[in-house]
Amino acid sequence: MRSTARGIPVAGLFLAVTAAGAVAAEKQPWRRAPAEAHAKTNPYDAQPDAVRAGRKLFARHCASCHGDQGRGGGEAPHVDADLVRDATPGDLFWFLTNGNLRHGMPSWSRLPDQRRWQLVAFLKTLDTSPSPHATSAGAAGESAPD
């Protein structure tokens, strides 16, 4: 009986740590990116043409859900510029490649690597402030459209 009582706080602590980890992972889905992906650098870093190409690709493939310039108003939340700024280019590339299928963000592996890097170059220039239409302060693809 005594050992059961002692076990309750331990189990509670375990659950709390697990839940906190899950929330953090949802907030920054690229936290699951392996170290190798995290460390990758963008071959198009700071190239104005790549940023423009990325903006075009964002308008084509992402804006219908994330809104123009990532400001929200679509199927998915606005792109959180602070979270994107804190992520490494490798993290963002990994996230675009894998998506977050359980939570509605599709995998963009159908786009060649070069175009995903161009998207990353554009995302790094984003400066979104939450618009009145934004449904959540989450990162790109965090919420389910279902």
Partner 1 sequence: MKLKLKFTFIFKFAQAAAAAFLVWAIPATARAQDRPYFVTYSHDLEEPGALEVAVSPVLASQRGAGDFLAGWTELEYGAKGWWTSALYLSGQSTRHDSTLFTGVRWENRFRPLMHEHRVNPVLYVELERINGADKIMRGIVGHDGEADHAEPNAITRGEMKKELETKLILSSNVRGWNLSENLIAEKNFAEKEWEFGFAIGLSRPLALAARPDECTLCPENFSAGLELYGGLGTHEAFGLRDTSHYLGLLLGWDLPSGMGLKVSPAFGLNDRSHRFVLRWGMSYEFAGFGRGLRRAFGGRH
CB of 32 to partner 1, least distance (A): 8
Closer of 82 and 113 to partner 1 (Cβ): 113
Closer of 118 and 128 to partner 1 (Cβ): 118
119, two tokens: 């998207």
Q: Are 121 and 47 spatial neighbours (Cβ–Cβ below 8 Å)?
A: yes
Distance (Å, whole) CA 94 – CA 110: 13
Give the residues lining the site for partner 1 (CB under 8 A).
Answer: 49-50, 52-54, 56-57, 60-61, 63-65, 74-75, 97-107, 109-115, 118, 135, 144-146
95, two tokens: 């996230």
Output DSSP code: residue 75: S
CB of 66 to partner 1, least distance (A): 11
Closer of 2 and 102 to partner 1 (Cβ): 102
CB of 23 to partner 1, least distance (A): 18
CB of 140 to partner 1, least distance (A): 13
3-state helix, strand, coil in the chain (%, to 5): 60, 0, 40
